[in-house]
Chains A and B, each alone.
Chain A
């Protein structure tokens, strides 16, 4: 078990659907991240929130919309996705963004399949 909880674990959605991925951490971390990971590839950064404000958007298409309702929660809203968006979506948190004692702690991800 990890201290970063992601729901759902699996999600299948059609290209016209709207769905949301959820992430929660109770470690008091102030930075939260969304990563996308394809099979046999390293995680690719999508978004970073620092103190509940979006600080990094790695040129992610607008069909992915992040939201940070409070310091413990992070959502990723999905709309009009493409089959190539199928991947493992990982949430992570750290004490701060860029600090010396800030390793990322990852959740176990949401396996997303777009049909």
Chain B
């Protein structure tokens, strides 16, 4: 069974304090790993897709990396507006399988 585990569940950072969020996964052949950001009361906003180990993607203060077992979302010098829940999801290669989501990491950045 495909599984996604995100850690920590919640993270509180001071503005400018860099850190990383973890997404560990087990999947029967990875088609893609997706990162989303979700603000309260809103739908998830797509951030990145990663397809193979060693791949990296960047967007502003965010950088996503991928290994064969996990992905990290690195946040450099975060600002209060980066506060949100970050969701990780994987899609298996076999058939038209839907995304499997992790439970998310709730990030709070304090000014």
Contacts and interface: CB of A to CB of B under 8 A. Distances in A.
B97 A98 contact: yes
A105 B47 CA distance: 10
The majority secondary structure among interface residues of chain B is loop
Given A43-B44, A106-B43, A100 B102 contact: no
Contacts, number: 59
Contact of A43 (B41, B49, B51, B101): B101
A88 B99 contact: no
Nearest to B95: A98
Nearest to A42: B101
Interface string A1-36: 010101000000000000000000000000001000
Interface residues of A, number: 28
B104 A108 contact: no
Interface in B13-57: 31-32, 34, 36, 41-46, 49, 51
B103 interface: yes
A48 B51 CA distance: 23
B96 A50 contact: yes
Given A56-B98, A97-B96, A98-B31, A103 B43 contact: no
**Top 9 closest pairs, chain A to chain B, by CB:** A106-B43, A42-B101, A98-B96, A108-B43, A97-B96, A103-B46, A106-B44, A45-B98, A108-B42
Given A2-B43, A42-B101, A97-B96, 7 more contacts: A6-B43, A41-B103, A43-B87, A100-B31, A100-B51, A109-B41, A109-B43
9 contacts: A42-B101, A45-B98, A88-B41, A90-B44, A98-B31, A101-B49, A103-B32, A104-B44, A111-B41
